[in-house]
Amino acid sequence: MKIKQTFSLFFLVLLYQQSLLAEHICHTKVDDLGKEIPMMMDMSNMDLKFNQIKQNLPNLSKLDNLQLQKIMKSMGPNYYWPINNGKSSKHGVLIMAHGYGSDGDLDLFNSLKNFNPNYEIILTMGMSMMTSKHVICSVQRLMNSGIESIYIVPISSTPYNTLVRQWRYIFNLEKNYSYADVDVLASNTFKYIEPISDDAIAKEIILEYANEISTNQENEVVIIIAHGPVSQADNVQELLIMNNIADYISNNSNFSEVRSFTLQDDAGKAIRDNNINNIRQYIKNSSMQGKRVLVVSNLMSGKGIQKNIEKDLNGLNYTFNSKGLLTHPKFKIWIEDSITK
């Protein structure tokens, strides 16, 4: 039987009172930009964690542990990045993000520099597949500065995916981990915010991105492409959310048609290939009907899988606005609105 290793708020306070233990738990390497990377996890349990990942992600199940280790290394480290946001505060905001490469991460960091100074902000970057040390250490940092409440903001287009569930597991909101078992935090200090999904602000941003590349709406169709989840059950739920966004765009524009598609980028190759074929066929049919095809997405960053999308749609006639939601000025408004409700 699996037993969660849970860190309570009281235990975290004790960690600070026992400085040597705290230093061991949260010893970090700090780069020139202020990113803090916790030291490596205990190597003795790596094989166990690799096996758990392979059990939870069937598309990785045939890899040996050395191959999986190379994939984990290629994804870069999990780290946290404090934003010096102004005056001292009793409220903290923990922004949980997948990680978008050095440029994409910097875009997110810069977009939050002028956030409401009543909140101290830390970015926690990475999928937390095999560790939650960066999360635990970022929480400790907030507590050390006198924070009384911490808002957890997951940067994701929907809650229906393994990434968000892994984050929720870390905060003791899910019974099971999505990737590998990691240490868990439990406290009434945390206030969890749901992902943006089909919030009015998401709808407004995506419509704006479609309008930016439009020239004649009556003769244009819009495709909204999402990264998509692993499981088919989650995919059904995500498409419902995306269809709500598509309906909003249709009702607030003169576009000929608005359609939603998911890539299911981390699902099996056959599933992803089928989704790509459906998108390509829709673009071909629309072009044959004389329609101009516009492609937008609900992706969080503009520096994620957009290059893969361009490769997938190679040879077709379409115009792609590759911008992501998180650097739009309204996204910061969504965060503030969500934590002040």
**What average pLDDT does the chain have?**
90
Whether 159 maps to a domain, the answer reads yes
The pLDDT of residue 23: 44
* Stretch 35-42: mean pLDDT: 80
pLDDT at res. 61: 87
Q: Which conformational region is residue 86 in: left (phi greater than 0), alpha (psi within -120 to 50 degrees), or beta?
A: left
Same-domain check for residues 150 and 216? no
Q: What is the 3-state secondary structure (H, E, C) of 266-319?
A: CCCHHHHHHHHHHHHHHHHHHHHCCCEEEEEECCCCCCCCHHHHHHHCCCCCCE
In a domain, 325, yes or no: no
Is the same domain home to 259 and 316?
Answer: yes
- Does one domain contain both 167 and 217? no
0.85 surpassed by pTM: yes
CATH number at residue 268: 3.40.50
Which candidate, 40, 21, 118, places its Cα nearest to that of 79?
40
What pLDDT shows up at residue 216?
A: 98
Q: Is the pLDDT of residue 96 over 80?
A: yes
Domain that holds residue 255: 200-320
Q: Examine the domain organization and report whether 218 and 110 are in the same domain.
A: no
pLDDT at 309 over 60: yes
CB 21 within 8 A of CB 65: no
> pLDDT value at position 328?
96
Q: Are residues 72 and 209 in the same domain?
A: no
Domain count of the fold of the chain = 2
